[in-house]
Chain A
Amino acid sequence: MKDSPFRLNGVSVSFGAVEVLRHLSMDINHGEFVAVVGPSGCGKTTLLNVLSGHIRPSSGTLQRTGGERMVYQQDGLFPWQTVWQNIALGLREVKDPAERDSQIRELLGLIRLEGFEQHYPHQLSGGMRQRVELARALAGNSETLLMDEPFSSLDYLTRIRMRQELARILQHRPRTVVLVTHDIEEAAQLADRVIVLTERPSQVRCELSISEPRPRGLTHPEVIRAADRILKELGIQDGAPSLANGKEA
């Protein structure tokens, strides 16, 4: 068993007088898919920036092991590079050109974009661009994928398709994933564990585990049950949360 890629202990983050995160403690386990949901402006992206090392906690400790790569909302690809060159960026540590080429080709196959290697990002649809970005982040051997609302700029149908793609691709290239999203369905469909944050300053409101193995269908009863619980926790859907506060047994 490997170490936890992330171990947060009482992490708080403030920007000036604004307290964004308050005493967050969590372990993220190797190979686990964790989704973080919460009201908008609650500090989800700040949490990702802490995990990626771009923001230092004001107090508390963070242990990180293994490299991590970020998938951005949109436009994270270099528009002046082709699909091929963008993916190659993720394989800079591979020195042997033949080996690198074969890995790029394999990734292109994985994201089903063979034939598009010489295209530039602006020549692709939003969903195709996010697949390329995913391939770039999955290239090489970094342990963790940090995803910042990666599908939020896509239309609804494309978004659903991209979820299935992500689940499928992760079967081939398993990673520890931290996904920040305000899409409750997305969290319920993709994650092993959903962390619901409170309003700012954010604390963990509750965590729920979804035991049904991935990939799961959007209308799987477990997914719907989980979505229902998240909605109740966020106070969007009427009815008391089915579990008071804390982990599912």
Chain B
Amino acid sequence: METRSGKLPSILLPAAVFAGGVALWALIWKSGVFPPSALPSPLGVIRAFGEELRNGRMINDLSTSLYRVTVGFLLAVLSGVPLGTWMGQKLKARTAFLPLLNFFRNLSPLAWIPFAILWFGVGDLAAIFLIFLSGFFPVVLATMAAVAGIPAVYSRVAETYGLHGFEKVVHVTLPAIMPQIITMLRVTAGLCWLVVVAAEMIAGRDGLGFAVMDSRNGLRMDMLAAEMVLIGGIGVILDRVLVRLTKIPSVRWGYER
């Protein structure tokens, strides 16, 4: 339990660590271990940030990447959760599909990049396809495991009180796994955000991943570092947004027991 008096240190402590990190970076830059072309200064990165914001490229790349991740992630969740729910209830389906799912889950989605380009060309579709692949298998597996682990007593209660079929799924099965679903959404969204950058580096003409490659090719390491800061920051924000789901009253039980 966090106490009230822990409020201030919870801001100050991370801020101090952050400031220390930036100071260390500045020190290394100053020491000249790396040539200026290989390591930009903190101030240089802030300037590059301003430049990128002014010419609007960064906002474009950001919205492009966010669009791809959102679509790919939603497709993975909207198809993976129903499939996982079904499999969680059917032992035979699990037996049949589990090895295949495990295979694809352990196959890096980046290995699909050449096929993605061949099938969908360079652009939105290829990236969305790759993000879908990175999200789909973990979503199915996590949902399946969660459904298979629902305590039997809930099914019996549902039966006693006349909840069957679709009504049971909506009022019992899905609420019973919602805490695990939310955790799974956070993990998967993080994974998708990692993959979109890698995918765009190879199969993109825009987006943050492409911007990283473009800055490297232009030897603009200050811009590259600014983009890295943005990519990491957005990843944190995505997680902070999803963590809000755990505040919904009807899922609190999953985190407080």
Contact = CB atoms under 8 A, between A and B. Distances in A.
Given A76-B153, A80-B178, A121 B253 contact: yes
A116 interface: no
B131 to A, nearest CB: 30
Contacts of A89: 157, 161, 163
The size bracket of the interface on A is 10 to 19
Contacts of A136: 161
B202 to A, nearest CB: 43
A167 B33 CA distance: 82
Interface in A56-77: 69-70, 72, 75-76
Given A75-B153, A78-B154, A92 B161 contact: yes
A81 interface: yes
A69 B160 contact: yes
Nearest to A93: B162
A79 interface: yes
- By secondary structure, the A interface counts as loop
Nearest to A137: B160
A104 B160 CA distance: 18
A52 B163 CA distance: 17
A80 B161 contact: no
A90 B154 CA distance: 14
B5 to A, nearest CB: 25
B176 interface: yes
Interface in B212-257: 249-254, 256-257
B179 to A, nearest CB: 9
Interface string A33-73: 00000000000000000001010000000000000011010
B150 to A, nearest CB: 11
Interface in A72-102: 72, 75-76, 78-81, 89-90, 92-93
Interface string A109-130: 0000000000011100000000
B256 A80 contact: no
B175 interface: yes
Contacts of A92: 161-162
Contacts of A78: 154, 157, 172, 175-176
Interface of A: 52, 54, 69-70, 72, 75-76, 78-81, 89-90, 92-93, 120-122, 136
Interface of B: 151, 153-154, 156-157, 160-163, 172, 175-176, 178, 249-254, 256-257
- For the complex of A and B, the 10 pairs showing the least CB-CB separation, nearest first, are A79-B253, A80-B175, A122-B253, A80-B250, A89-B161, A122-B256, A76-B153, A72-B153, A92-B162, A69-B160
Given A76-B153, A89-B157, 11 more contacts: A69-B160, A80-B178, A80-B250, A80-B251, A90-B161, A92-B162, A93-B162, A120-B249, A122-B252, A122-B256, A122-B257
